[in-house]
Amino acid sequence: MAGRAARRSRVRFPVRLSPFARFVLMRLALVPGQLVFVLLLLYLAIEEPTNITTHQYLGIGGFFTGFAQMVANDFTGNWGISTFQQYPGVPIAQLYAWLLPNSVELGAFALGISAAIAYPVSLWAGWTRRPGVDVTARFTSLVGTFLPVFVVGLLVIAGLFFGFLAEFHDLPDQGVIPSFDWWLYYSGGNYPSWVIYQSVTQPTGFPLIDGLLHQAWLFEEVTLIKTLIQALVISLVYVTIFLRHARSVVIAASQELHLMAARSRGIAERTLLWTYTARRVKPTFLTVFALTLPVYLGTQFVVEATFLDRGAGFLVLSSLTSLGGGGFSPLEGMMFLLAVIVIFWLFAVDILARRMDPREVVAR
């Protein structure tokens, strides 16, 4: 009996995972395959056409050799040397480290403004049954879908140009940080030591943070206003696109049985909208945003290029207009970074949406 009890004590049962934990592990297992697939598409779209025209890596063995080399370059940061006139001889990985913080800072403002506008507007537009509101929401989303973002940017620049120049002695379409005209007015054209290449701030690379660290208050004021202008342009365009998808989600949620039952019990419409429906559609809103993230990134890149802002939009536009040479191009490094960002953002949003879903809470 003692031996049998000892053998039983040595038997180990597998750890029983919750449904949510199993979902996280299954979703995480898909990430490597998604990344390999995206890298393969990137190789076929950019690197392989150059290899064929230069008679390199021909054949099946050569194809996999070239693909393996590209993947190795991607993950080791061996992205070549910049040939941009503004940044000659700078390693491309270093160039990304300099310019991407500018885009991250702008994106943080634009996403915050977009969320503050899109969330309540989508809820209200999908809930309200008034014909005027419904028609206005549809028309706005349609205009935002088909109106080119650079046109919106150019209209904003034209409307603000002379007033901005008179008030701040700067141009609104010369990036986020003050342009040379501003430095010429305030310091005779002399840039401080913490601004390099007339567009990169140090030590963090985030213009607003660096302005605070160096207590450059005039610099901080102009940079903040120019950042908000670009963020508002991004938000105006993206919110109309998001509204088109999110509005139908709210309409479907407003017709669910539990809301009809709550309404029959006399619960106020305001409570039904901002508590019951809002809690129900938040996970779906996150999923909609994840699916439209490439649209958002494209919108921000075009706005940055329109405002001549030195960030991700500048890198993509410059890379597209300078392709044609062999080897690893700057565009490939940017596409690799964007692929990683999008894949892991989709993973994070899936997990967060599942966690926020009221039905998941009940199941736990």
pLDDT digits (tens, 9 = 90+) for 54-102: 555 556 767 777 788 888 888 888 887 877 777 878 888 888 888 899 9
SS3 15: coil
Q: Residue type for 201, please?
A: T
Nearest in space to 71 (alpha carbons), one of 317, 335, 314, 322: 335
Over the stretch 246-263, which tens digit does the pLDDT of each residue have? 777 787 777 778 778 888
The number of beta carbons lying within 10 Å of the beta carbon of residue 270 is 8
- Whether the full predicted model's pTM is greater than 0.85, yes or no, is no
pLDDT of 214 strictly over 90:
yes
Q: Provide the b/e sequence for 194-231 (b: ≥16 CB within 10 Å).
A: ebeeebbbeeebbbbebbeebebeebbebbebbbebbb
Over the stretch 301-337, which tens digit does the pLDDT of each residue have? 889 988 989 888 877 777 776 543 334 456 677 778 8
Could you give the CA distance from residue 236 to residue 113 in angstroms, rounded to a whole number? 9
Over the stretch 1-39, which tens digit does the pLDDT of each residue have? 555 555 555 545 456 777 788 888 888 888 888 888 888
Instruction: Dig out the tokens for 242 from the structure.
Output: 């998001």
Pairing of strands 200-201, 195-196: antiparallel
Which of 316 and 235 is assigned the larger pLDDT? 235
Task: Indicate the angle between helix axes 19-42 and 330-356, nearest 10 degrees.
Answer: 160
